[in-house]
Amino acid sequence: MSDVTPHTAAGYLGGRLLIASPLIGDPRFDRSVVFMCAHGEESAMGLIINRPMTGLGLRDLLEQLDVADAANAPDNPVHDGGPVDRDRGFVLHTLDVTCGPATLPVGPGMGLTATREILDALASGAPPQRALMLLGYAGWDAGQLEDEIAANAWLVCEADEHLVFDLDDDLKWAHALRTLGVTPEYLTGASGHA
């Protein structure tokens, strides 16, 4: 049996972070950090992890969905995961809590679940140690993401639980850049050629 999983396949970006450069050219992704859940020859899918939604907290969302014990959930923000399928919810979380085959491993120690069961877990006394609730996702067709990376619209770095789950959302972009040795203040929206 192969040890290659969706987040470790050579040449693919699953389980890593995309960092929007000033050349992104799309205000929906300005200063975004995207956790890549899946990346293959035919498509790619990721979640913007540093864009909290205004006026919508986890507790409110769980109450709207009639999740039992919603009042027990932490009042964390719900994140705008991206411009595609904005009514669809995802929970990116540590793997200390899983929902069987409904939890997809997407990175070292991290899983993605989009079921009612994970929402119940968030409101229970035994939620995942770390979790982000997101609505919507970012998606790319075959070759689209690779073209954007080649055009310097995205930088790529390794994901770690601290950056994904613990940092304040407004610090994630600069922190991710610094992991690459890039000083955010020195980035410009112009590119040059030698």
pLDDT per residue over 65-124, tens digit each? 999 999 999 889 999 999 999 999 999 999 999 999 999 999 889 999 999 999 999 998
Domain range 16-186, its CATH number among 3.90.1330.10, 3.40.1740.10, 3.30.70.20, 3.40.190.10? 3.40.1740.10
Q: How confident is the model at residue 4 (pLDDT cuts 50, 70, 90)?
A: very low
Find where tokens 């964390």 sit.
Answer: 76
- Look at residues 135, 125, 126 and name the one whose alpha carbon lies nearest to residue 53: 135
pLDDT of residue 117: 94
CA angle 50, 52, 53 (to 5 degrees): 150
3-state secondary structure of 79: strand
